[in-house]
Structure 1
Amino acid sequence: MKSSLTVAGDVTSALTYFATMGIAQIAEVEISDRASIVYSSDPFPKAELHFDEVTPAQVADALRFVAQRWTQPGSWVVQTMPYPEGQSVVERSPFSPRVKVINDLDTWQRHQRFRLSHLDKLLVEADLTALELIGGLGEPAYWRFQGKDRRPDHGASRWEMKTRNKGQEFIKDRLALMCVELSDWSTEQILAGLDGSQVNDPLGKNASDSRTSTGFTSPGPTDVALAFAAIIGISIFPLSHQSHTLSITPAAFPSDILHTRYAVLPIPVVPVTLARLKTIILSHELHVVSSHELMEPEAEKGDSRLLLDGLAASTWLRQRGIVALAKYPVLKTGSSSAPERQILKGEVVVL
């Protein structure tokens, strides 16, 4: 029985894109159904998900089951570890990819033991949704230094954009709260959030400065179910860790700076499976075309090799149903001590 779901928002919203990927991930990993993704031909194209054997309501149920599973005592989402901070000790999650600098070896070792023990448990439990999300989020980089200074944020995904003012962090102060909230939602409530027929934002109190979207849009009321799906979507963007520089986050440009300036994402105009779209996102061809699109026109004119590489890569993408890219500026705002990234309204670039 085939069914479909049109996701809230349109191609100008990175929240829509990441949520679409997250919903497809839930369908495939949690209930073993194949999901295909396509954007409509509307003036502002909408993301459509096509399922082979399940209904959108069943996918909504699966999303709630994930939230409930991750709120159980001892879960990787709710369990924390004590970290020294000055003369006191604070509880944080070792699975938050961005944490305060850890300067002592003993804390680093306890931090890593915590992570490894939970990863082993998740593997035994076959919680692939958690494992792939953790891979997409990255981790504090114990291996990264600039001179003598540690740079733990160099191991984190640039798509984890939770503000860290007042000592907050991503897992304990955002993901865990979302899981608790969604655990009690009905199927109808979750589905209404995913398709945009309602916006239910109790975590952000439906305020104009709500941060529930966690950087995937500018501040504003955001449905918790839709935002949770977008966070799951980070799992489609696994990091490539490097010893000599910061980790590479797929679709984040430039790839060699900590604070991303652009997100560039492929837009399929024919139904594409999640597996195929993931390979496209991770492809050299998308990187070439995206870099080409972000160049200054003057830089392109003098290098025929770049033009030929861009043409070949564009042809490769079009052959796979990608005839356009969505290009989203990323705003860095906030203070120097607690910077905040927000993905702004995007535009479509035809290949």
Structure 2
Amino acid sequence: MSVVISADATDAFSHLLMVGLASILEDANPDRVCLFRWLDDLQAFEIKTNDDLDIDQISKVVSEHAKRWSQSLPLTSQDDYTVSNESDKPSGAFHATMSPRLSNLGVPYGWEKLQRNREAAVDAMETFGDYRYFGALGQPSYWSGEQTNHSLRSDFGASRWEMVTRNKGQEFIGGRLFPLAQKVAARPIGKVRDGLLGTTIEDEVGGNKAFSRAATGLHAPSKTDNARAWCALIGVSAFPTRVTTIGSEMSRDSSAAMFQIKGPIRFAILPLFDQYWTTAKYRSVIRSEALAQFGIQQARFRGDQVMSAASDWLEEKGVPACCLFNQFMSDNKSAPERWLEPGEIIPVKQME
């Protein structure tokens, strides 16, 4: 039995919805294997499991996943991490412990408290999927900075897929993921099903407004069903963040399949495939050197032939084409807003 979910291959949100839904289903049962693929018109994907879940059963798993996470320590843990000493008066600015980007952290006490609380939240995680997700999301960096002025760049340890705009103290876990989990957990199973299928669009966290930020940068602000948004944000678990150092300086870490090259070249590259893939295969392809090389060359030199080794490898793995998504960034210098624009489908092999 397979289930068809409406989607759009030129929308990065749809890609993460697909792999996020499969990840949630597999995480609920260690013996479960999901298979998924794009359909020919690229306006839907097909998903099925080895235990033949139907759409109502799939919806129940998604609901239970949101309920468990809405009550979990990784989502509910918060504290004031701005104080520098234990005797300092608290500022009252509480932030979620597991958010990968936090500002104004107190040195040293705020950092020490954050690390203690993060370790407790990690110890409270229940499944391998929990560990994979928060590992991919990253953490505030205590190792990144600029040697010339001794400044710490705590954002440099976070996933580039986490695109919450940093204004008015906003942060990802407390401001986006936790409220989303609560809204999906509160839905009847039927409404979760209708949202997943795309037959209805209920955007509770965004107030059903046309410019909702529920998708959190996976596409431009728009009314987005929250059950689909929950799955799409869980899809970030497939894209690990790499910790890097360059010489004596530190640079912003890269996340699988999303890159920034010398300023204005910001993009994500995602594979298209019409044969059934597992989540394990998807993760192996999106973190591959071949996909990175293909995306970087296409982003830099549109229309030029990409190196044959990368194309050959992708074709061998069953990737006939990729979708390249440019990242929009607003001109607000203090808190720029980012999202992935509609993508361009590019064959991995150019016509002779």
Q: Name the SS for the 2:73 alignment partner.
A: coil
Matches within 5 A, 1:239-254: 239-244=241-246, 245-254=251-260
Q: Deviations over 1:69-125 (max 9, x none)?
A: 1222x6210120112379823110121111113241111111111111111221xxx
Task: Find out whether 1:315 has 2:321 as its counterpart.
Answer: no
Tell which deviates more after alignment, 326-335 or 263-272.
326-335
Residues 218-263 of structure 1: CA deviation (Å, up to 9, x unaligned): 1110000111101100000011112342212011123676x87111
Aligned to 2:64: 65
1:341 aligns with 338
Going from structure 1 to structure 2, the CA distance change for 1:334 and 1:225 (only over 3 Å counts) comes to farther
Match of 2:214 among 212, 229, 249: 212
Give the letter for the 1:292 counterpart. Q
Query: For the Cα contact (< 8 Å) 1:246–1:256, is it kept in 2?
Result: no
- For the pair 1:197 / 2:199, whether they are aligned, the reply is yes
The question of whether the paired residues in 1 share the 8 Å contact of 2:74 and 2:124 is answered with no
Matched, 1:117 2:120: yes
Shift of 1:211: 0.7
Determine the C-alpha separation between the residues in 2 that align with 1:211 and 1:77: 19
- How far the C-alpha of 1:198 sits from its partner, in A, is 0.9
User: Partner of 1:143 in structure 2?
Assistant: 143
Letter in 2 for 1:131: Y
Instruction: Show the counterpart of 1:34.
Output: 33
Query: SS at 1:77's partner residue?
Result: helix
TM-score, reference length from structure 1: 0.90
Count of aligned pairs between the two proteins: 335
How much has 1:45 moved relative to structure 2?
4.2
Give the percent of matched residue pairs that are identical in Structure 1 and Structure 2.
29
Tell me the equivalent position of 2:173: 171
Q: Which amino acid aligns with 1:317?
A: L
Q: How does 1:1-351 map to 2 (within 5 A)?
A: 3-32=1-30, 33-42=32-41, 44-53=42-51, 54-72=53-71, 75-84=73-82, 88-122=91-125, 126-147=126-147, 148-244=150-246, 245-254=251-260, 261-296=266-301, 310-333=307-330, 335-351=332-348
Pick which of 129-138 and 237-246 moved more. 237-246
Secondary structure at the counterpart of residue 208 of structure 2: coil
CA deviations on 1:249-283 (whole Å, 9 max, x unpaired) are: 011123676x8711100111211111111101111
CA contact (8 A) 1:26 1:59 kept: no
Q: What is the RMSD computed on CA atoms of the aligned residues?
A: 2.0
Q: Which amino acid aligns with 1:127?
A: T
Equivalent residues of 1:241, 1:247 under 8 A apart: yes
Give the TM-score taking structure 2 as reference length.
0.89
| Structure-2 change in CA distance of 1:75 and 1:334 (3 Å) | farther
Task: Tell me if structure 2 keeps the 8 A contact 1:210–1:219.
Answer: yes
Give the conservation status (yes or no) of the 8 Å contact 1:328–1:344.
yes
**Distance verdict in 2 for CA 1:186–1:256, change over 3 Å:** farther
Aligned to 2:86: none
Q: Measure, in 2, the Cα distance between the counterparts of 1:211 and 1:175.
A: 12
C-alpha deviation, 1:167, in angstroms = 0.9
Q: Secondary structure at the match of 1:100?
A: coil
Partner of 1:304: none
**Contact between 2:36 and 2:278, CA under 8 Å: does it hold in 1?**
yes
Note if contact 2:164-2:171 (Cα within 8 Å) is conserved in structure 1: yes
2:319 alignment partner AA: I
Looking at structure 1, the residues matched to 90 and 122 of structure 2 have their Cα atoms a distance apart, in angstroms, of 31
Contact kept in structure 2, 1:37 and 1:268, CA below 8 Å? no
Unaligned segments of structure 1, at least 5 residues: 302-306
Structure 1: distance between partners of 2:120 and 2:296 = 39
Does structure 1 retain, via aligned residues, the 8 Å contact 2:77–2:121? no
* Distance in 1 of aligned mates of 2:76 and 2:124: 14
Q: Distance in 2 between matches of 1:118 and 1:39?
A: 36
Per the TM alignment, residue 166 of structure 1 is displaced from its structure 2 partner at its CA by 1.3
Q: For 2:261 and 2:139, locate their aligned partners in 1 and report how far apart those are by CA, in whole Å.
A: 17
CA distance in 2, matches of 1:8, 1:98: 32
Q: Which runs of 5+ in 2 are unaligned?
A: 84-88
Alignment-mate amino acid for residue 240 of structure 2? P
Distance 1:8 1:58, change over 3 A: same
Query: As a proportion of its length, which structure holds more helix?
Result: 1
